[in-house]
A and B are shown apart, each in its own frame.
Chain A
Amino acid sequence: MLKLGDIAPDFTLPTANGQPVSLSETLRDGHNVLLVFLRHLG
């Protein structure tokens, strides 16, 4: 199971406008990234 210290798996998903966004490209800009996965409650 993924745990602290592991490499975060890369992914590409579309925005509401259909623009693809990938984790790796976001990181390439030098940002730290917070991923928030919603549940049905939000």
Chain B
Amino acid sequence: MCQYQAEFKRLNAEVLVIAFGALPLAQAWLEETCSPFRLLLDPERTVYQTYELERSLLRSWNLKTVRRYVQLMRDGRQWRGIQGDSTQLGGDFIVDADGILRLVYRSRDATDRPPVEQLLAGLRQLTGKDET
């Protein structure tokens, strides 16, 4: 998401990345993905539960997940093992300035994440700003 930093800023969006794993793993993720955003730690996953993000062994670990890990390592990511609850699925939410949920996306499996363009489109709709 690094290359989109300027666009998030233009759209008046603050990005908060929430992680449940150990700090070194989360920091490594930020560095490897070149993510310039604030990282918040939720090791007990209380906020994950508040936002009703699911846990699933079958949807976290399957052939699709293994293929994705292989691809990530081919792309230069290092294997650092799994810490925390590896069955925890993630999600993405857009909250407008009034505190209202404007996008709710819960991962169907561990590889599932909305395209950045979908997130930007949601923010553009809120701000009324066109694509640059």
Contact = CB atoms under 8 A, between A and B. Distances in A.
A32 B38 CA distance: 14
B129 to A, nearest CB: 11
A32 B102 CA distance: 10
B89 A39 contact: yes
Nearest to A1: B52
- Per DSSP, chain A at the interface is loop
Interface in B77-109: 82, 84, 86, 88-104, 107
Nearest to B114: A36
Interface size class of A (residues with CB under 8 A): 20 to 34
Nearest to A28: B97
- Per DSSP, chain B at the interface is mixed
A36 B98 CA distance: 19
Interface in A1-42: 1-11, 13-16, 21, 23-24, 26-27, 29-42
Nearest to B19: A38
A33 B95 CA distance: 5
Contacts of A16: 23, 26-27, 39, 41
Given A2-B101, A8-B95, A38 B29 contact: yes
A38 B93 CA distance: 12
A19 B81 CA distance: 27
Nearest to B14: A31
